[in-house]
Amino acid sequence: MAKLVMQLDELSCPSCMQKIQAGVSQQAGVESVKVLFNASKVKTEYDETTTNPEQLTQVVTDLGYNVKSVKVK
C-alpha cells in the first residue's frame, strides 16, 4: 500500500469534492480516498502494482482540477 497526497488549487464547490472522490475511488487499485475540501488536498491509499501517482494525478487533472504538487509517502 502506497500513500499519495495531492495539493490542488483552491476548491470552492462542494460538488467538486464529490466528483474528485468518486473519480479517484473508481480507479483500479485505489484502496481509499479522502478529499480534504478546506485544505484542497486529496489523500489516497493505493496498490502500487495496479496504479501509480501519474495515473491518479491524471484522473484529477482530467476532471478539470489543477494539481499543484504531489507527495508520495
For the CB of residue 33, give the shortest distance to other proteins in the complex, in Å.
12
Cβ pair 18, 11 in contact under 8 A: no
Which residue of 1, 13, 49, 54 would you call a contact of other proteins, by CB under 8 A? 13
Contact 27, 59 (CB under 8 A): yes
From candidates 37, 55, 57, 70, binder to other proteins by CB under 8 A:
37
Cell of 11: 476548491
- Residue ranges with strand state E in 1-73: 2-8, 30-36, 41-46, 67-72
Compute the least distance from the CB of residue 14 to other proteins, in Å. Answer: 5
Instruction: List residues binding other proteins (CB under 8 A).
Output: 10, 12-15, 18-19, 22-23, 26, 34-39, 41, 61-66, 73
